[in-house]
Chains A and B, each alone.
Chain A
Amino acid sequence: MTTIDSIDNGVNVQALLDARETLKGAPEAARFTWRSTTRWENGVHTTSTVKDYFGLGAEHSHKTESSFTADHPEVFAAEDHGITPIEYLLVGLGSCLTAGVASVAQNRGIQLRSVEATLEGAHDIRGILGADSDVRNGYDGIKVTFSIDADASREDIEALVAQSQKRSAVFDALTNPTDVTVEVA
């Protein structure tokens, strides 16, 4: 399989495969905790920061702290300092699926030239406004469209995209219920 060695999407698949083997016998080390902190600024404007996480049995820090501004747009009578929280879900899903496409492609020996995912979330805001109790608060559907240029048949590209959903953390978090606890410290 010479192609697998010569293609390079920049994903260290061997490290991931090694980790899979190691963690099979070490379920405790596989337990990660991801964290973020959100501070209220003013109005519906907030700043969230992400730096530390726990995994492989120890505390870790990202190389740099990341900061995310959220607000509501002017059509919601807000100041629009940043994107809305529900748009962050699209950011999470799009980056997760795209990363998955790259990893699966690397593993299958497919050289990628470009990958672009366009996401659209359909949202009926009567839910959050309490205008109609039959309308849910969240998205009623999300559509992801991939444009992929790669050395592969259309069938193989479709298989990449399907497999990336199968192994996506965010796809799972959005399509399946998650138990959420909210407390006052």
Chain B
Amino acid sequence: MSSLENRITTVVVGGGHAGLAASHFLSERGIDHVVLERGEVANSWRRERWDSLRLLTPNWQSRLPGHAYDGPDPDGYMTMGEVVGFIDGFAARTRAPVRTGTTVTSLRRTDDGYHVTTDQGELACRAVVLASGACNLPAVPATLSEAVPAGVEQVTPFTYRGPDQLPDGGVLVVGASATGVQLAAELRRSGRPVTLSTGEHVRLPRTYRGRDVLWWMDASGVWDTRYDEVPDLTRARRLASPQLAGTPGRTTLDLNALTADGVELVGRATAVRDGQLLFSGGLRNVVSLADLKMERLLGTFDAWAQETGVDSDVKPPERFEPTRVPGSPRLRLDLRGGEVRTVVWATGFRPDYSWLDVPVVDGKGRLVHDGGVVDSPGLYALGLPVLRRRKSTFIHGAEDDARDVVDHLAGYLATRR
């Protein structure tokens, strides 16, 4: 690899779909730039996902600027290989100037822009787009994880590939967002006893009134809600992913489905004492919060369908059975007893900004920004939860956000010549 040119207008950190979308709009405006990627294009889909994963968003929804799914199964869900192919295709189509195998190790502010240090050389630029991803590391509750006895295996979504890799015997999955419910279902299917520790979560049916529930999110405009219109933005940005899976049968993967498969539900994991993992007694509350929120969301879909006349094109409104909770959910589990051989931490992900030497990260490790405009001139972000819209972290959410952010960036470059 040739060494980096030492001056360029804009640097994009990260060659995932968000960085590539930024690159597309930068090229459109003729702004010279480079996309720095530590691995390959779509690296996180290649290296940081488990084997059976499919997108939970349907194929027709996988769209990037000027690039959409055009295969035979618009209602299906992409495998990891297909996602990589899709994003690679976009990079090729847009001729994105990507430098693969280039890790940014430091980003510093200078008098007239930024100084970028990489493992392949140094670079000076006027503007930077942080598109390094929102899910660089699994977020594992350290106090719990450290107290798990040595004989119990612990895995995260980054180290988990499939059931074969785990010892036989019981599994405790901690966390009931998309990742947790998907891994609980897969491990249960492998014949293992599975316990699922459930805190606050988002329940959704896979299909509603005959359409993919994400069609409703899209068509009714819920997903387009702007960040400055969301009532409680901090909360919206922390919201876990919905209990959805992309399966060929388009089946719902809520807690009732898991219970029917023999998964045992327990409350949120709160502490380890004397080798016993303790669960919250508030399971019924989190479950009814999720049921009520789902009902409310479906209610807004129905109202929208009525207003717009979509009503006649879809099946009649449906209501779903309340979530069943065991009569007396277990409050403790002895981790030394041999019942559980593996703990799966499906407790979320977080970004890694350890290389960012600009003081724009708050005490909780979150980037401080206003709709992707970071509080440091010429610094921008993409791909973070509800960055500019509810759909910001999703593949189909990148286009609108990247266009807006690059607009702002172009304005910044134009005024500071």
Contacts and interface: CB of A to CB of B under 8 A. Distances in A.
Interface of A: 140-141, 155, 158-159, 162-163, 165-166, 171-172, 174-177
B292 A166 contact: no
Nearest to A139: B281
B400 interface: no
Contacts of B289: 162-163, 166
Contacts of B105: none
B328 A176 contact: no
26 contacts: A140-B328, A141-B328, A155-B292, A155-B295, A155-B296, A158-B288, A158-B292, A159-B296, A162-B285, A162-B288, A162-B289, A165-B282, A165-B285, A166-B285, A166-B289, A171-B282, A172-B282, A174-B281, A175-B280, A175-B281, A176-B271, A176-B278, A176-B281, A176-B282, A177-B270, A177-B271
B95 interface: no
Nearest to A136: B331
Contacts of B292: 155, 158-159, 162
B285 A176 contact: no
Given A172-B282, A176-B281, 8 more contacts: A141-B328, A155-B296, A159-B292, A162-B288, A165-B285, A166-B285, A175-B267, A176-B271
B100 to A, nearest CB: 42
A163 B289 CA distance: 7
B116 to A, nearest CB: 33
Interface of B is mostly: mixed
Interface residues of B, number: 16
Nearest to B281: A175
Contacts of A163: 289
Contacts of A171: 282, 285
B238 to A, nearest CB: 14
B93 interface: no
A172 B286 CA distance: 12
Which A-B residue pairs are the 7 nearest by beta carbons?
A: A175-B281, A175-B282, A165-B285, A177-B271, A176-B270, A162-B289, A162-B288
A177 B273 CA distance: 10
Contacts of B278: 176-177
A140 B332 CA distance: 13
Contacts of B288: 158, 162
Interface in B128-144: none
Contacts of B271: 176-177
Nearest to A142: B281
Nearest to B295: A155
B162 to A, nearest CB: 34
Contacts of A158: 288, 292
A135 to B, nearest CB: 14
Q: Residue among A155, A159, A165, A176 with the most chain B CB within 10 A?
A: A176
Interface in B245-279: 267-268, 270-271, 273, 278
Contacts of A177: 270-271, 273, 278
Nearest to B285: A165
A167 B292 CA distance: 16
A162 B280 CA distance: 16
A6 to B, nearest CB: 21
A158 B259 CA distance: 24
A175 B268 CA distance: 10
Contacts of A159: 292, 296
Contacts of B285: 162, 165-166, 171
Contacts of A140: 328
A56 to B, nearest CB: 21
A176 B280 contact: yes
A159 B270 CA distance: 24
Contacts of A175: 267, 280-282
A165 B273 CA distance: 25
A57 B280 CA distance: 31
Nearest to A172: B282
A165 B282 CA distance: 8
Nearest to A171: B282
Nearest to A140: B328
A176 B289 CA distance: 18
A158 B284 CA distance: 13
B195 to A, nearest CB: 18
A22 to B, nearest CB: 15
A172 B285 CA distance: 11
Contacts of A174: 281
A154 B292 CA distance: 11
B329 to A, nearest CB: 10
A62 B325 CA distance: 41
B43 to A, nearest CB: 36
A162 B281 CA distance: 14
Contacts of A172: 282
Contacts of A162: 285, 288-289, 292
Contacts of B282: 165, 171-172, 175-176
Contacts of A166: 285, 289
Q: Residue among B268, B281, B296 with the most chain A CB within 10 A?
A: B281
Interface string B295-315: 110000000000000000000
Contacts of A155: 292, 295-296
A176 B144 CA distance: 14
A39 B295 CA distance: 51
Q: Residue among B278, B282, B328 with the most chain A CB within 10 A?
A: B282
